[in-house]
Amino acid sequence: EESLQMWDLNKRLEAYLARVKFLEEENEVLRAEIQNAKGSPAGDSWRAKYEEELRALRDALDHAFREKCTAELARDNLYEEVQQVKSRCQKEQAAREEAKKQLSLSRKELEEERRAQIWLKERAVQLEKEVEALLEVHEEEKAGLDQEIASFSQSLESFRCAPVAFQPVEVEDYSKRLSEIWKGAVETYKTEVSQLEGSLCQAKENLWKAVEDNQQSQLQLQHLEKDLAGLKARKEMLEETLARQWQEQRGEAEKFQLAMEALEQEKQTLRVQIAQVLEDRQQLMHLKMSLSLEVATYRTLLEAESTRLQMPAG
């Protein structure tokens, strides 16, 4: 029974020794591979390649950051240009409103001048009618006076002698006075007609000035509308350029974000692999230590058993 136990122990010891040897060989192989990976140019090249790729990605990230700063600066410049265009549009709008106001005022002045001209024409026609009526009244009065003078002369001829109080000089004085009144009326009419003609000429000049101002205001309004249309087109173009740059910048940022996420994922994968390798190595060390303890224990048992077997023989 003891020999069977010893034989079983020997088998187990051989199995443990074989396993320890296999693990030691595997450990040596792994150590050699690690050393080769650390010292070989392939490992250095892989590490250098990884560092080079990391450096390239960092340079690309710096370049993207610089491009982002440039794009932001361009965006700020475009925003300032858009604000300037808006301010110019507001100024043009204010100038347009002012031109419209001036045009409305010119139209009102033109309407007033037209009304004044119509009133002057009506006044001239009325004065002409009054002059004609005065002329008719004067002719009638003159004809009546002529008739009275003729009848008076006939009555004088009927008498042999004229009275002392009535003399032909009074009739002449009366006719002279009437002629002076007629001349004064004609001069007054001429003065009023000349004043009306002067007012009519002044109204015509004001009318032409208002028409010219209206034409100039319309031309200025057309120029302002053209400038406003050009500014609107430039504003739309700048907004389209800004939107396109925003889209491009967003796409580049998304690409770099994906690249950074991929690098971070690869970094995490490498960390997991390194941690796995370290854990496997730790497990191998623990296994080696446990096997070493078992071998030492079996060796102690064998030595104790051999000592116990040798002692009776002695």
List the single range of 5-9, 63-67, 172-176 with lowest mean pLDDT. 172-176
Torsion of CA 43, 47, 48, 52, to 10 degrees: 150
Q: What is the mean pLDDT of residues 139-144?
A: 76
The confidence score (pLDDT) of residue 43 equals 53
B/e letters for 58-82, b = 16+ CB within 10 Å, e = fewer, are eeeeeebeeeeeebeeeeeeeeeee
Reported as a single tens digit per residue, the pLDDT across 17-70 is 888 888 888 888 888 887 877 766 555 566 677 778 778 888 888 888 888 888
Let me know if residue 130 belongs to a domain: yes
pLDDT attached to residue 161:
45
Long-range CB contact pairs, 262-266, < 8 A, 24+? 263/54, 263/57
**CA-based nearest residue to 8, from 305, 313, 290, 310:** 305
* 170 part of a folded domain: no
Distance, C-alpha 297 to centroid of its chain: 87
Evaluate whether residue 169 is within a structural domain: no
Nearest to 146 by CA among 5, 190, 230, 154: 154
Q: Check residue 41 and give its pLDDT.
A: 58
pTM: 0.33
Q: pLDDT value at position 288?
A: 79
Write down the pLDDT at residue 164.
44
Is 300 within the bounds of a domain? yes
Tens-place pLDDT, residues 200-213? 788 778 778 877 87
Average of per-residue pLDDT across 175-194: 75
The pLDDT, as a whole number, for residue 165 is: 45
Over residues 257-312, the pLDDT tens digits come to 888 888 888 888 888 888 888 888 888 888 878 887 888 888 888 888 778 777 65
Q: Residue 182 — left, alpha, or beta (φ > 0 → left; ψ -120 to 50 → alpha)?
A: alpha
Residue 309 pLDDT: 74
314 falls within a domain:
no
Mean per-residue pLDDT, 94-107:
83
How many independent structural domains does the chain possess? 1
Q: Is residue 168 part of a domain?
A: no
Nearest to 259 by CA among 47, 53, 49, 48: 53
Q: Which domain holds residue 288?
A: 4-37+47-157+176-307
- pLDDT at residue 47, as a whole number: 67
Q: How many CB atoms lie within 10 A of CB 30?
A: 14
For the ranges 77-86, 135-144, 168-177, the maximum mean pLDDT occurs at 77-86
DSSP assigned state of 178: H
